[in-house]
Amino acid sequence: MKPVVISGTGLFTPPHSISNDELVAAFNAYVELHNQEHAAQIAAGEVTALEPSSSAFIEKASGIKSRYVMEKSGILDPSHMTARIPERADDEISVQAEMCVAAAREALTRAGKQPQDIDMVLVACSNMQRAYPAMAVEVQEALGIDGFGFDMNVACSSATFGIATAVDAVRNGRARAVLVLNPEITSGHLNFRDRDSHFIFGDACTALVIEAAETASGAHQWEILDSRLKTSFSNNIRNNFGFMNRFDEAGIGQPDKLFRQQGRKVFKEVCPMAAATIADTLAAAGLETKDVARYWLHQANLNMNLLIVRTLLGRDATADEAPVILDSYANTSSAGSIIAFHKYQDDLPAGANGVICSFGAGYSIGCVVVRKK
């Protein structure tokens, strides 16, 4: 088969960061206001009092210390608890497209490519800010790409599924080069009033240029040796927001229209699935775990990543073997593994093997095995 490479990566990091202490202070102020407002019902046993959070609890549960967001003041307002991002006019570039363009420009520069070298734009992420026109087509227009684009959603595995889709497009001649973009405004689907999840997510956008090896000229090229995609239906991670919500007014604004999960079940079920998928993909590529220099795993929960790599290696991974960006970026859904890949790839020598793996709602798991050229 025609060799295909990742020839460039890019990252857009939002301008605002929220520490655990800041987030906890806002959440606990909300809890105090809520409990005061419902004091009578709480005393009567009609309403359950909310419990405060703590930075120590957050870091122990997730490994997260801070997160980047597109807007900060609204999230930290105990009376609001949602980002304040004004709507833009139809003739202005949308927020997600703007994030994509910034990440794309870095990826194109690293790949040594111009927009006219790209034939296909794929925007793959957990949440699109609108139904249509496709975000990918807007990005295509903003960058001046003459080709086609479309959106896809496989939740946290969107980036790895996007890589596999791009590889197929290059190999079958549909596109000379593909721009895969992952604009995650995960603060939009996060319930900042929920103690169990208010700390999980952050915003970011990643970009990848994928092309035939014969046309690649970037300084850091990674040949895609093999990939495996797997889905298995589960309600343990779910968000019911959608265009049909207005059909039943009773559901408007309910908690199930935001992110929710059964964390313990997710941990128990997804970790072995992810480890098995990585092992299967390595075997298909003719490799063993001892041949892998680095694992760029989905950055959802530090304990999950530690367990997955421990299952594969039979020991704890070093920080060099499985780099972590979760502490400062939090869970950025599909962008997480690509942020890790973007930040921790240049130091590896030619011939080094690596694994990009993401996992999340669906369940969905995507694994890509790469080798530096």
Return the amino acid letter for 315. R
CB atoms within 10 A of CB 41: 12
| CB-CB contact of 110 with 219 (8 Å) | yes
Question: CB-hemisphere CA count at 13 Å for 122?
Answer: 26
CA 152 to chain centre: 13
Of the residues 125, 156, 205, 367, only one is catalytic, namely 156
Residue 156 is a catalytic residue: yes
Q: What share of the chain is helix, strand, coil (3-state, %, to 5)?
A: 35, 25, 40
CB atoms within 10 A of CB 293: 16
Torsion of CA 62, 231, 332, 162, to 10 degrees: 150
Give the CA diameter of the chain: 72
Report whether the peptide linkage leading into residue 133 is cis, meaning its omega lies within 30 degrees of zero.
yes
Residue of 199, 209, 205, 237 lying closest to 128 (CA atoms): 205
Distance CA 194, CA 181 (A): 29
The torsion angles phi and psi of 28, rounded to 5 degrees, stand at -65, -30
Task: Give the start-end residues of each E strand in 21-147.
Answer: 66-69, 120-124
Distance CA 183, CA 81 (A): 22
Distance CA 309, CA 324 (A): 13
Name the 3-class secondary structure at 103: helix
Parallel/antiparallel/unpaired status of strands 203-212 and 222-231 = unpaired
Parallel/antiparallel/unpaired status of strands 16-19 and 4-12 = unpaired
Catalytic residues: 156
